[in-house]
Chains A and B, each alone.
Chain A
Amino acid sequence: MRLPRPHITVNDLRVGWGTRVLLEHVSFEIERGTIFAILGGSGSGKSTLLRYLIGLEQPQTGRIEIDRVGEPHRYEGVPPFGVLFQSGALFSSMTLAENLALPLTRWTPITGATARELVQAKLELVGLGPFAEHLPGEISGGMKKRAGIARALMLEADLLFFDEPSAGLDPISAVELDQLIITLSQDLGITIVIVTHELPSIFLVANHCILLDAAAKGVVAEGDPRKLRDESKIPFVHNFFTRSAPGPSAHQGG
């Protein structure tokens, strides 16, 4: 039997700014329908890697291939994936409903009552039904993130990228957001790639992860985060997942 093709394949990618190299020889695959976490400490290059995955940066070395899309930075047309930026990145001069309707007006002929119905349904999906006519400045940070997710879902993409979804949220909002992410994956069958360093969130939602390290300039571990936490022998990985400070031997090993 032929195995299904991975949703995203990254092969020998180099990530960096100008001559500064953050990560080298990065290779991994993301299976369709899974929740995949890109982990790493501050400055490890995980948000920069995300910029490559969503096509904002062009790889100088290596290749990123999204199934049925090709290389993301070359792709033109209806966006094949949704992105939730760290701050939500809602347009502050538009109401939530207008923010959500924007991709529809750009990429589909849908207008009028049908458009309003689709927008309202997405807002309700993320629990923001009553806030359609609010401006982003009038809602909380967690609500902005949920509205950002709703906007990312508008074009019915089967792939979503989340940059630090639970950063800066209170524990309850963070758990609600995690539940929403699980719902999106399980009920709508969406592949979700999350960049984060929030451990509780990782253990709750992620099926698979890679761990980046600035010192090693690459992927130091890959697999199920719960297994990595319990079984990894690499000191850096162990310290990351158990939130312990590096011991005297950590640098030699990590």
Chain B
Amino acid sequence: MNVAIRADREGNHARLVPIGSFDLAHAMAVARAVEDSEASLSGCVSVDVDLAQLDRIDGAGAVLLARLFDRLDASGRHARVMEGPNREAARLIARYRARRRDLPVRQTRVTNPLTLVGTLAADVPAKASEALDFTGRCVAAVPKAASTPSSVDWRSLPRLVQDIGADALPVTGAANLLIGVIFGFLGVSQLGPFGQVSSVPGLVVVAHFRELGPLVTAMVMAGRSGAGLASEVATMKVTEEIDALRSLGFDPVRWLVVPRCLALAATLPILTWIGDLLALAGGLAATTLITDMTSHSYIEAATNHITAANVLVGLVKTPFLALAIGLIACGQGLATRGGAAAVGSQTTVAVVQSLLSVIAISAVFTFLFALIGI
């Protein structure tokens, strides 16, 4: 179907005749026809628009014609509509013209890179104070939770321990086992040439029990359970469940955050401990597979290094790592504003922050233990 606007000139007067289907299906052709007809109007002082030959018009065609009339009016050329038999079309165009009064005020978005850096930097103090405020509220919630146990959702604790802790065991276990295997191979390949294969069990125990065990377990937990917690709380926030809790007189920190942090703090040490044993098994498998060392001598050598110091240095930091994951996940979840997209971005932030903080906390502990010589 041809779409056109015929322009008949008589001196400085013009008559525009839209012909064809001015609808959504032909919108691009209509836009071009409007543009062409405008170009042919230079020098005109008045324009009549004859709608008699329009086959069909819908909202899209009406919008494009309405904008043409707007521009003609704005340039001082009065446009007169001759509706002829086509009153419907004239009314439709008028409907879209009538709404033009409220001119759009465009919201300017930050695009300048310098402005962006400035905006980000300006946000830092507010973000830091928010984080401290949240941590403070969580600390304050503990004695309150103890004095009024009904303000905490204790009933969810078994489910949380199962979801956050027990269900994570296959993943954390597999990660630890493989790290043990890697260390076994690495130890044999690096220490073997010096005749020090007998030191490999010691290497696995010291490296894994003290540092890698808690770190690897906590990182897997941050990725798995941290993301789960953050998205759960964030969804509760955007669906107004958190507001509903508040309106019912519950403190969301006590009701939601306390049991989640408790579940994490209770399960992470256990998962770490099981992970340590699995890493030992992984190291054993690797070492006995590629060297002459027997399982018995591996276990004997390893047992010599499983001292209270090595075990405790690793396990003592796990509750802190767990709290960091829980607080960050819940904190980011509660800070969610907006809709579905905000849930995703807030979960990403929670996982990134908890991974970084887990590494940072481990580093601080290592530094402290080195300082006091354990």
Contact = CB atoms under 8 A, between A and B. Distances in A.
Contact of A188 (B66, B95, B105, B109): B95
B102 A129 contact: yes
Interface in A178-193: 183, 187-189
Contacts of B58: 156
B63 A130 contact: no
B144 interface: no
B6 interface: no
A216 interface: no
Contact of A117 (B64, B91, B103): B64
A83 to B, nearest CB: 17
A108 B27 CA distance: 9
B339 A153 contact: no
A131 B58 CA distance: 24
Interface in A128-178: 129-130, 132-137, 153, 155-156
A100 to B, nearest CB: 12
Interface in B1-36: 23-25, 27-28, 31
Nearest to B106: A133
Contacts of B31: 113-114, 117
B96 A121 contact: yes
Contacts of A189: 88
B24 A156 contact: yes
A124 interface: yes
Contacts of B23: 156
A109 interface: yes
B107 interface: yes
A1 to B, nearest CB: 21
A133 B109 contact: yes
B59 A137 contact: no
B105 A130 contact: yes
Q: Determine the interface band of chain A, counting residues with CB < 8 A from chain B.
A: 20 to 34
A206 B338 CA distance: 34
A241 to B, nearest CB: 32
A134 B60 CA distance: 23
A124 B99 contact: yes
Nearest to A109: B28
Contacts of B352: none
Contacts of A92: 338-342
Contacts of B105: 130
B337 interface: yes
A129 B100 CA distance: 8
A93 interface: yes
B192 to A, nearest CB: 54
Contacts of A127: 99, 102
A79 B106 CA distance: 31
A90 B341 CA distance: 11
- Which of A117, A121, A129 has the most chain B CB atoms closer than 10 A to its own CB? A121
15 contacts: A92-B338, A93-B340, A117-B67, A118-B60, A118-B64, A124-B99, A127-B99, A132-B104, A133-B106, A134-B107, A136-B339, A137-B337, A137-B339, A155-B24, A187-B92
Given A121-B96, A133-B107, 15 more contacts: A91-B340, A92-B340, A108-B27, A110-B60, A114-B28, A114-B64, A118-B27, A124-B100, A125-B95, A129-B102, A130-B103, A130-B105, A137-B342, A188-B59, A189-B88
Closest 6 A/B residue pairs (Cβ): A92-B339, A93-B341, A137-B338, A121-B63, A124-B99, A114-B31
